[in-house]
A and B are shown apart, each in its own frame.
Chain A
């Protein structure tokens, strides 16, 4: 069990570019969550997958954001036409079906110039 991993750890991009982040959950975890954390704030929920099904999306997830979890394993979060307001830490977490404890990855820090 290597924990939740995220790639890349840091991403700097120019406004208007597209970016994609990857999350690899703990292997036996069927639940996967994405959160966004801005400086000085707690994480805010973005979206939730149970296996490959995306079951919940926050209103924070605008049309420029899309997330996938093909085959119920890793997940990707894509942001199209990035804006400076998208600058934040993007966190991924996973949990098993038998517990409410979520395990977090190290996050991807996005900076939009």
Chain B
């Protein structure tokens, strides 16, 4: 079946440090890949996504590249801020990608807690 594995946290960084959160997946077909973020006391929000191999998703200074050869979708940010402190979830959709319509259930990783200190 489908699965997502994230690097174990928590991750603690100083402001302006470089961030990498690793994510690898196992899936049949061509899934779409997502990063969701959950700020303290708030619901899950889509951060970025990629729907086919070599696509790069980006938003708010965060980036992730869909690497089919390594089945990875690592999240990166060049300079983190205190406001980036949150829980980050990598996820894949069961169907779709490669330019097609995807409507499948999401499979999530266990989440990575990021804390950024001033």
Contacts and interface: CB of A to CB of B under 8 A. Distances in A.
A107 B107 CA distance: 17
Chain A to chain B: the 10 pairs with minimum beta-carbon distance, closest first: A42-B108, A100-B102, A104-B44, A45-B105, A106-B43, A100-B32, A104-B43, A100-B93, A100-B96, A42-B110
A33 interface: yes
A72 interface: no
Contacts, number: 60
Contacts of B101: 97-100
B106 interface: yes
A42 B111 contact: yes
B89 interface: yes
B45 A100 contact: no
B111 A40 contact: yes
Interface of A: 31, 33, 35, 40-45, 48, 50, 56, 91, 93, 95, 97-107
Given A33-B106, A97-B103, A104-B45, 13 more contacts: A35-B106, A40-B111, A44-B108, A50-B103, A95-B103, A100-B51, A100-B93, A101-B34, A101-B46, A101-B49, A103-B46, A104-B44, A105-B43
Contacts of A95: 103
Contacts of B110: 40-42
